[in-house]
Amino acid sequence: MLKNSPIISASPEIMGGTPVFTGTRVPAQTLLDYLKAGESIDDFLDGFPTVTREQVIALLEEAGKQVIGTAA
């Protein structure tokens, strides 16, 4: 699970407990919304400079592992 990891954290004191990129106030859902709308990772990073490319890639890699792991 990604919540409360080096990638994603959730705390009632930050955005009411919404899962955010660790060390930021940027909800992880925002990245997914950008990608769903056809925007690029670069577009997302331009809009949210507190999130690093490494965090985005790590989130996508972990999500991919969880999807593939559940499909097997």
pTM of the model: 0.83
CB atoms within 10 A of CB 2: 17
Average pLDDT over residues 46-60: 96
Q: What pLDDT score does 3 carry?
A: 60
**Beta-strand (E) ranges in 1-72?**
8-9, 20-21
Q: What pLDDT score does 65 carry?
A: 87
Q: What percent of the chain has pLDDT over 70?
A: 90
Q: What pLDDT score does 21 carry?
A: 96
What is the Cα–Cα distance from 14 to 69, expressed in whole angstroms?
30
Q: Which of 12-21, 26-35, 36-45, 61-70 has the lowest mean pLDDT?
A: 61-70
